[in-house]
Amino acid sequence: MLEHADLLCPSWDGENLIGVARSLTDFEYCCYLSDLAVDEAYQKQGIGRELIRFTQSRLGSRAKMVQISTCMPSSMTRLTGIR
């Protein structure tokens, strides 16, 4: 799963992995954010949003981020701005 990701953005608290954004992308046109996860103890602190911002910063200026999910709550869609 991690081996074949085009872009992997982790979030650390010391030596503890607390969040990750995993994407498939061509870095110029489209970036599919396939996984966004934050440890439950660290949620509601903006870590997920920062992982998305960091992911976007690694892309070309014209690349658009998309997420195709049947399990993403509409409130998360509003918070992240990803469709």
Reported as a single tens digit per residue, the pLDDT across 6-55 is 999 999 999 999 999 999 999 999 999 988 999 999 999 999 999 999 99
- How many domains are there within the chain? 1
- Bridge partners, 29 (sequence order): none
71 — pLDDT class (breaks 50, 70, 90):
low
| Residue 10: predicted pLDDT | 94
The two structure tokens encoding residue 27: 């870095």
Short-list 62, 57, 47, 46, CA closest to 23: 57
3-state secondary structure of 19: strand
Range of the domain at 39: 7-80
More confident residue, 50 or 81: 50
Task: Specify the CATH number for the domain of residue 57.
Answer: 3.40.630.30
Q: Where in the chain does DSSP place strands (E)? A: 7-13, 16-25, 30-38, 64-66
Q: How far apart are CA 32 and CA 10, in angstroms?
A: 16
Q: What is the mean pLDDT of residues 56-66?
A: 90
**Any domain includes 54:** yes
75 pLDDT higher than 90:
no
**Any domain includes 1:** no
